[in-house]
Amino acid sequence: MRDDPSLANRPIAVGGLADRRGVIATCNYEARAYGVRSAMASGHALKLCPDLLILRPRMDAYKEASREIHGIFRTYTDLIEPLSLDEAYLDVSRSEHFGGSATRIAQDIRRRVWQQLRITVSAGVAPNKFLAKIASDWNKPDGLFVITPDQVDDFVVALPVTKLHGVGRVTAEKLKRMGIQTCADLRTWRRLELVREFGSFGERLWSLAHGVDDREVQVESRRQSVSVENTYDRDLPDLAACLEQLPELLDQLARRMARLDEGYRPSKPFVKLKFHDFTQTTLEQAGAGLELDDYADLLAGAFARGKRPVRLIGVGVRLVDLRGGFEQLRLF
C-alpha cells in the first residue's frame, strides 16, 4: 500500500496462491473487515472477500524496512529483543532520552518511522513484557496505549484470560469450564490449586493474573528449535502417504541443522501435522532418536490423533543451547 498508492482502501493480503493451496500470511484492515485473517487458506479468504487481491511476499523489502526500523530503535536503547521482522521489545528503563519517559520515547519512535518509512507503528508502554505486548495491540492500527505502574492492577483484573500469553483454545476451554473467564476470576484461585490443575503453567497463570512478569528483554536471541514443513498441493489421504514424504523432509532438516553453529545440541525430535480441516497437532518425545524410524513413530502417533487427510507435515528438533552453560542445583 505504501509503495503502490492505487492499492489504498482496497482489501489486500500477502500470501500464497489459492490454486496452489496457499495460505494468507497477513492482510490489511479492509480485508479483515470481511473476516480474512492470517493462517487462513487463500481459497477460503477469496470466498469471504471475492475482491481480495492476494500479493506474493516481498521478503527483501520487508527485511530492508525492518533494518531501518531497528536502526531507529537503537538510537534510544541497546536493549532490544526482536520477535519478528516487525515486532520487538525495547527496555528503555535506563534511557536518557526525554528524561527517561517511555511514553515520549514511544511517541517519537512512531513519528520517526512514519516520517522516514511511511509505515505506521502501534506501540505499547508498560512496566513488563506481558503488559507491553497486550498494550501494543490495544489501539491498532497506528495507536499508542500506556499502562502505568499504578494502573496495572485495575487493567489486569478486567482482562479476559484469553489475552494471557500461552492460553490457547484448549486451555481457554478448560478455564471456562472452571468458571474462569477473566483475571478477576483467576485471582480467586490459589497458586497451588492452579498448579494442581495446569502443572507448571499454573504458576505462570497465577503470576500473569496479578500482572507479574519478571522476564527480562533478551538482547541475544538463541534458537530453541529448528524445523521444516511443507504444505501439499493435494491432501495426503492416509498414514502411508504421509510416511512417503518423511525422507525428503528429513533431508531438508539435516541441511538446515548443518548451518547451525557449534553452540547447540539436538534434543527432542517433534512432528507437526495440519489436517485437511486446519486442525493441527504436534508430538515430541524426549529421549527419542533422530533417525527416520524415530520420526516415523512420531508421525504415526500424531496421525492417530486425527486420522484425517493431511495438508501439512512439519518435522523438527528441540535444541539445547550449550552457550547458556549448566548449573548444578543444590539438593537442599
**What are the residue numbers of the active site?**
87
Q: Specify whether the CB–CB gap between 311 and 279 falls below 8 A.
A: no
Beta bridge partners of residue 15, listed in sequence order:
24
3-state helix, strand and coil shares in percent for the chain, rounded to the nearest 5 = 45, 20, 35
19: number of Cβ within 10 Å: 9
| Pairwise CA distance, residues 204 & 198, whole Å | 10
86 known member of a binding site = yes
**DSSP character at residue 21:** T
User: Any binding-site annotation on 277?
Assistant: no
Grid coordinates representing 292 are 527416520
Strand duo 144-146 + 123-125: pairing: parallel
Judge contact between 13 and 7, C-beta under 8 A.
no
Closest CA to 296 of 249, 227, 252: 249
Q: Which positions make up the binding site for Mg(2+)?
A: 3, 86
